[in-house]
């Protein structure tokens, strides 16, 4: 059945299927009338003699079976064809036995639910009508079940709080053929206004969205997709639309329609944006404390060296103290420069090497690494630049390195940081693989399962539970992949994170 037919309104006043037990007789031959009237009791039917004219659909709808002369049966057949919302009575045509050649019987039979040739033995007529009644009652039961299911689906479509749209594929522009009331509430557009339009009118001029690109690819490939895009209501206000699109196929497997389910997730997106900003601020606070500690040490050294240079009378010692002070100040300048790189907000993707990204982070954590007796091992292969949002990728790498340091803060260990060119075999993309491994306490299976959940942390009051949650989102946005292996029991514990970022994860 075509989707548009499914979506047409099913009248709430549709009558129940014909009541069992009534048979209408419209026969001119009195012998035939008496025959059918006489065998009605054997079929557990109540007979009613009807006149050929006038006949109306409403007058016949309560009958289960109607037996009429062939010309009258033809008229009734046309009358019953006009109704599609309930089961019509079973229609049996009667013809004199001598008036119908044997080769025309199959043709006549196909026009009606049954064909009687009279006169005939009562037992034969009872058998024929019994078969017709059995088939008709089975059909009526299936029809009523299908009608109830259709009515239920209609009520579901109308009552769900998610917006539902159905677009037809046979037209090149995928016009809408149905929207439910929830769609009208979410968007402010009525069904009459949007029928025949492509759903892109909700985008307005805001068409440069990654979610829209994914949506177009899914439609072209005729597959399911769920994505979040910016849409605009009729009054021009923006809302974030979580759109799930699914193809509908006919029995031959051909896609005939797309059904879309829309949910206004504006509140959720705004909340998640707030969480991201809070995580950035928390990261900034933690790093600021580390930077302050790192800068304080060389500044103390500079102060002492300047005091020694001022109090000595040896010119050679003075020069040596000043040179050492200059080296310490260069350390301060390096820390300041790296911290500025880390938090410089990039609004557009840029080309950067993996080694530059890592160096800026390792320089900032150098003092903490030394203080916790961690042995740092780095291996950087020659790599091609990657296109990314620098500040976001630095945030991800900083989270991974800081977590590795925290896992070894009690007893020290080895921190292994490596980069190399690689290919992501599932996608076939070329890029850079970052490996960050530690010999710390490791993660339990429960932690591994929940580590990307927002607010889940094993650091107590010292953690926000947002670091890996935000990091995972950034990686997905860059079309990257993050995998982890960890062991928290046994002779050797530790964690290995591998982060793959494609060379062109974001267009420059």
Q: Are residues 150 and 174 in the same domain?
A: no
Residue 508 domain-assigned (yes or no): no
Per-residue pLDDT, 424: 84
Q: Which pLDDT score, from 0 to 100, does residue 44 have?
A: 87
**pLDDT band, very low/low/confident/very high, at 13 (cuts 50, 70, 90):** very low
Per-residue 3-state assignment (H helix, E strand, C coil) for 213-274? HHHHHHHHHCCCEEEEEEEECCCCCEEEEEEEEEEEECCCCCEEEEEEEEEECHHHHHHHHH
Residue 507 included in any domain: no
CA–centroid distance for 432 within its chain: 29
In a domain, 498, yes or no: yes
User: In the structure, what pLDDT confidence band is assigned to residue 19 with cuts at 50, 70 and 90?
Assistant: very low
- Contact between 500 and 430 under an 8 Å Cβ cutoff? The reply is no
Q: Dump strand ranges (E) for 308-372.
A: 350-352
Q: Among the three residues 264, 291, 310, which one is the final residue of a domain in this structure?
A: 264
Q: How many Cα atoms are found within 13 Å in the side-chain-facing hemisphere of 389?
A: 19
Say which residue, 119 or 325, is predicted with more confidence. Answer: 119
CA separation for the pair 451, 457 (Å, rounded): 7
**Three-state SS at 77:** helix
Give the pLDDT of residue 85: 63
Of 158, 174, 200, the residue at which a domain comes to its end is 158
**290 contacts 268 by C-beta, under 8 angstroms:** no
- Give the three-state DSSP class for 22: strand
In the chain, the percentage of residues whose pLDDT exceeds 90 is 11
In DSSP terms, 245 is beta-bridged to 225, 260
Report the candidate in 407, 434, 418 with the shortest Cα–Cα distance to residue 495.
Answer: 407
428: helix, coil or strand?
Answer: coil
Tell me how far apart the alpha carbons of residues 495 and 468 are, in angstroms, rounded to a whole number. Answer: 14
User: Which pLDDT value is given to residue 17?
Assistant: 43
Residues 6+ apart with CB under 8 A from 206: 230, 232
Return the CATH number at 438.
3.30.565.10
pLDDT at position 52 is: 79
The answer on 186 and 69 residing in a single domain is no
Beta strands 163-168 and 176-179: pairing type? antiparallel
Domain membership flag for residue 369: yes
pLDDT at 296 over 70: no
Higher pLDDT, 400 or 328: 400
CA atoms within 13 A on the CB side of 427: 15
Same domain as 178, residue 114: no
Same domain, 298 and 384: yes
| Same domain, residue pair 342 and 288 | yes
Number of folded domains that form the chain: 3
Rounded Cα distance, 126 and 120, in Å: 10
Tokens read off for 135? 């088939």
Query: In this predicted model, what pLDDT tens digit does every residue of 243-284 receive, in sequence order?
Result: 999 999 988 889 999 999 889 988 888 887 777 677 666 666
Label residue 100 by pLDDT band (50, 70, 90): low
Average pLDDT over residues 193-207: 88
More confident residue, 17 or 79: 79
pLDDT digits 0-9 by tens, 218-239:
898 999 999 889 999 999 999 9
Q: Answer whether residue 308 shows pLDDT above 90.
A: no
Whether the predicted pLDDT of 405 surpasses 80: yes
What is 95-110 written as a DSSP string?
EEGGGS-GGGHHHHHH
Are residues 305 and 332 in contact, defined by beta-carbon separation less than 8 angstroms? Answer: no
pLDDT in tens, 434-464: 999 998 888 888 877 877 776 666 665 555 5
- d(C-alpha 69, C-alpha 25), whole Å: 9
Q: Are residues 232 and 305 in the same domain?
A: no
CA–CA dist 331, 192 (Å, integer): 69
CATH of the domain at 182: 3.30.450.20
Q: In terms of domains, do 58 and 133 share one?
A: yes
Residue 11 predicted with pLDDT over 50: no
Which regions of 317-471 does DSSP assign to beta strands (E)?
Answer: 350-352, 374-380, 386-388, 413-424, 429-438
User: What's the pLDDT score for residue 280?
Assistant: 64
Q: How confident is the model at residue 319 (pLDDT cuts 50, 70, 90)?
A: confident
Check if the beta carbon of residue 82 is closer than 8 Å to that of residue 36: no
26 and 144 inside one domain: yes
Residue 493 lies in a domain: yes
Taking the CA of residue 64 as centre, how many other CA atoms within 13 Å lie in the half-sphere pointing to its CB? 23
> Do residues 169 and 152 both lie within one domain?
no
Structure tokens at 129: 């009508």
The confidence score (pLDDT) of residue 92 equals 92
Q: Is 330 helix (H, G, I), strand (E, B) or coil?
A: helix
| CATH code where residue 126 lies | 3.40.50.2300
Report percent pLDDT > 70 for the chain: 79
Considering only residues 234 and 59, tell me which one the structure prediction assigns the higher pLDDT.
Answer: 234
Q: What 8-state DSSP symbol labels residue 349? A: -
Mean pLDDT in the chain? 79
User: Measured between alpha carbons, how far is 169 from 60 in angstroms, rounded to an integer?
Assistant: 41
pLDDT at 15 over 50: no
Same domain? For 151 and 192 the reply is no
Q: Of 111, 137, 158, which one is at a domain's C-terminal end?
A: 158
Calpha distance 279→307 (Å, rounded): 42
Of 265, 181, 182, 255, nearest in space to 223 by CA: 255
Dihedral pair phi/psi, residue 18, rounded to 5°: -55, 135
Per-residue pLDDT tens digits for 180-189: 888 898 999 9
DSSP 43: T
Q: Do the domain assignments include residue 37?
A: yes
Range of the domain at 329: 271-502
Q: Structure pTM?
A: 0.44
Residues 107-114 have a mean pLDDT of: 74
Half-sphere exposure of 371 (CA within 13 A, CB side): 12
- Is residue 165 located within the same domain as residue 154? no
- On the question of pLDDT at 338 being above 60, the answer is no
The mean-pLDDT minimum among 15-24, 38-47, 209-218 falls in 15-24
Assess whether 164 and 149 both reside in one domain: no
């Amino acid at each position: 059945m075509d989707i548009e037919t499914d979506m047409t309104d099913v009248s709430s006043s549709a009558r129940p299927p014909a009541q069992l037990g009534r048979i209408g007789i419209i026969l001119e031959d009195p012998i035939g009338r008496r025959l059918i009237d006489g065998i009605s009791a054997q079929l557990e039917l109540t007979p009613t003699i009807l006149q050929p004219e006038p006949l109306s659909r409403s007058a016949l709808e309560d009958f289960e079976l109607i037996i009429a002369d062939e010309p009258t049966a033809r008229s009734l057949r046309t009358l019953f064809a006009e109704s599609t919302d309930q089961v019509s009575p079973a229609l049996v045509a009667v013809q004199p036995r001598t008036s119908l050649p044997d080769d025309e019987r199959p043709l006549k039979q196909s026009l009606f639910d049954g064909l009687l040739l009279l006169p005939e033995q009562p037992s034969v007529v009872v058998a024929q009508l019994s078969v017709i009644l059995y088939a008709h009652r089975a059909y009526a039961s299936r029809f009523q079940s299908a009608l109830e299911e259709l009515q239920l689906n209609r009520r579901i479509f109308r009552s769900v709080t998610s917006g539902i749209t159905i677009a037809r594929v046979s037209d090149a522009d995928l016009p809408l053929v149905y929207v439910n009331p929830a769609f009208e509430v979410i968007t402010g557009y009525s069904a009459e206004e949007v029928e025949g339009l492509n759903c892109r009118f909700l985008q307005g001029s805001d068409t440069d969205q990654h979610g829209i690109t994914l949506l177009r690819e899914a439609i072209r490939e005729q597959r399911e997709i769920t994505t979040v895009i910016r849409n605009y209501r009729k009054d021009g206000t923006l809302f974030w639309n979580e759109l799930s699109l699914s193809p509908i196929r006919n029995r031959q497997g051909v896609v005939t329609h797309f059904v879309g389910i829309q949910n206004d997730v504006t509140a959720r997106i705004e909340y998640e944006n707030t969480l991201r900003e809070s995580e950035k601020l928390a990261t900034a606070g933690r790093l600021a404390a580390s930077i302050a500690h790192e800068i304080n040490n060389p500044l103390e050294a500079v102060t002492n060296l300047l005091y020694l240079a001022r109090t000595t009378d040896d010119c050679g010692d003075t020069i040596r103290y000043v040179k050492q002070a200059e080296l310490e100040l260069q350390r301060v300048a390096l820390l300041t420069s790296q911290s500025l790189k880390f938090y410089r907000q990039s609004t557009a993707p840029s080309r950067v090497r993996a080694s530059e990204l890592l160096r800026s982070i390792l320089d900032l954590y150098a003092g903490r690494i030394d203080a916790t007796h961690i042995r740092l091992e780095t291996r950087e292969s020659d790599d091609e630049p990657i296109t990314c949002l620098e500040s976001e990728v630095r945030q991800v790498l900083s989270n991974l390195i800081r977590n590795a340091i925290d896992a070894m803060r009690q007893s020290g260990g080895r921190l292994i940081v490596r980069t190399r060119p690689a290919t992501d075999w599932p996608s076939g993309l070329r890029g850079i693989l970052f490996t960050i491994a530690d010999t710390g306490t490791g993660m339990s299976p429960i932690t591994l399962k929940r580590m990307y959940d927002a607010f889940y942390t094993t650091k107590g009051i010292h953690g926000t539970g947002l670091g890996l949650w935000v990091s995972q989102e950034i990686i997905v946005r860059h079309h990257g992949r993050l995998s982890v292996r960890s062991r928290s029991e046994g002779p050797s514990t530790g964690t290995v994170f591998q982060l793959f970022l494609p060379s062109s994860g974001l267009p420059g």
